[in-house]
Amino acid sequence: MRMSVIGCGYLGATHAACMADLGHEVIGIDVDPAKIEKLNSGEVPFYEPGLDEVLQRALASGRLRFTTSWDEVAQFADAHFLCVGTPQRAGSYAADMQYVDAAIAELAPRLTRPSLVIGKSTVPAGTAARLAEYLEQHAPVRELARLAWNPEFLREGFAVEDTVTPDRLVYGVADEESAAILAKIYEPVTVHGMPVIITTRPTAELVKVAANSFLATKISFINAMAEICEVAGGDVSVLADAIGHDTRIGRRFLNAGVGFGGGCLPKDIRAFQERVGELGVSHAVDFLNDIDAINLRRRQRVVDLALASVGGSFAEKTVAVLGAAFKPDSDDVRDSPALDIAASISNAGATVRVYDPKAMDNAALRFPKLDYSPTVADAVSGADVLLHLTEWREFRELDPASLTPLVRNPHIIDGRLCLDPARWRAAGWTYEALGRPTV
């Protein structure tokens, strides 16, 4: 099939490359010419394991190209995947819909033959109905410009895997033709036998925000338990293992630490609260306020522990931070707990030295005031305290004994609870972690 992918960020670039790799004819469009140039030359403009190969293979097949021209997109494709961002609106909890609306405004007047627009972006409930009406009013083909909602659940770091072999596919449709087109598009994926849920457009919109709210709740639940462990002398990691053996609970997404960040979970639970409020039932998701608050409290807890470890003042102190990305195997620093903590400590007067295997450039763009070190050894040199805030494999495999002679004070705060306390203590370090006994 001939399809377009509108918006070539983490979601769109991956979707375009994977769809072409699966055999479709794909054109990707983005407003950023530099991004389009990179993609056309086979370069992924962000770090995503495995995506380079898929992109290069798809380009070489001749089935994939990228453009900035809406005319080209409308002439070429019969199906249009909407993959633009819906970030948090400045000064509000609501989703900023300007990129979605701008894309539809460009596309609609160019739809001169029967087309299916397929929304993948995470949007407030009711968006699909609004966009469908807009298409019907502004597309020359009128009601033959159809609209479906097909939410995306991809995780950064596993984007290719999640696109090619997703846990499930959800088709939110208003007519059978749209469901049939989606079935045809995803045939190379569904041959593997994953569940397909065909439902209404509002349900499909809600599935996505419900899933992200549930995941955020699971993380904040275990982080709330970590707060309690800290005062009751418990170990939240052991607690998570123990409750996780109950298959009704499950161990996945129960890793306590500095909490969730990234371009999705934080802004999605806020936009959900905003939209649910507009729908008049805000009490239904009042609990998400607490989920957000627990999450942000964990960041402050690391700042407080670091401050206590250096004797109550950051003046003249050096703090080493391992990790800038919001999670490992990503260079994404949007709402990253690690960077947020680093910036707070820097603002409080410390010299903060940050090292991350992949996210340094993005971090420096966002927080140019922090010192960025080319290696772990450089970051920890002369440090009064070391913070482990993103669980990259490189950090888990560090030999603490090799770092002891480099620091001013061997004190580590493990914000991801995945270092081995015994090893660090044996190498002369004071090891502290969120939700774990200090000794």
Between 219 and 342, name the residue whose CB sits nearer to ligand UDX: 219
Distance CA 337, CA 389 (A): 8
Between 175 and 290, name the residue whose CB sits nearer to ligand UDX: 290
Q: Per-residue DSSP letters for 17-43? A: HHHHHTT-EEEEE-S-HHHHHHHHTT-
Q: Which stretch binds ligand UDX (CB under 6 A): 174-182, 228-236, 248-256, 271-279?
A: 248-256
- Mode of pairing for the β-strands spanning 64-67 and 145-149: unpaired
Task: Verify binding: residue 154, ligand UDX, rule CB under 6 A.
Answer: yes
Q: Which stretch binds ligand UDX (CB under 6 A): 1-9, 66-74, 211-219, 362-370?
A: 211-219
Distance CA 367, CA 258 (A): 19
Between 36 and 338, name the residue whose CB sits nearer to ligand UDX: 338
Between 219 and 360, name the residue whose CB sits nearer to ligand UDX: 219
Residue 276 tokens read as 């649910």
Task: Verify binding: residue 264, ligand UDX, rule CB under 6 A.
Answer: yes
Task: Verify binding: residue 265, ligand UDX, rule CB under 6 A.
Answer: yes
Task: Verify binding: residue 74, ligand UDX, rule CB under 6 A.
Answer: no
Task: Verify binding: residue 156, ligand UDX, rule CB under 6 A.
Answer: yes
Q: Which stretch binds ligand UDX (CB under 6 A): 52-60, 84-92, 250-258, 342-350?
A: 250-258
In the block, which residue shows the tokens 């370090």?
A: 429
**SS3 state at 347:** helix
CB of 78 to ligand UDX, least distance (A): 26
Q: How far is CA 307 from CA 113, 331, 337, 387, 439, in A?
A: 63, 28, 17, 12, 19
- 196 φ, ψ (degrees, to nearest 5): -120, 125
CB of 209 to ligand UDX, least distance (A): 10
CB of 296 to ligand UDX, least distance (A): 13
Task: Verify binding: residue 327, ligand UDX, rule CB under 6 A.
Answer: yes
Distance CA 218, CA 339 (A): 22
Q: Which of 12, 28, 85, 259 binds ligand UDX (CB under 6 A)?
A: 259
CB of 54 to ligand UDX, least distance (A): 18
Distance CA 185, CA 369 (A): 47
Which neighbouring-strand residues pair with 381?
none
Task: Verify binding: residue 395, ligand UDX, rule CB under 6 A.
Answer: no
Q: How far is CA 364 from CA 310, 343, 347, 350, 420, in A?
A: 25, 11, 15, 17, 30
Q: Does residue 8 have an active-site annotation? A: no
In the block, which residue shows the tokens 């469908």?
A: 132
Task: Verify binding: residue 255, ligand UDX, rule CB under 6 A.
Answer: yes
CB of 264 to ligand UDX, least distance (A): 3
| Catalytic sites, residue numbers | 264
Provide the binding-site residues for ligand UDX, judged by CB under 6 A: 152-156, 212, 215, 219, 253-255, 257, 259-262, 264-265, 326-327
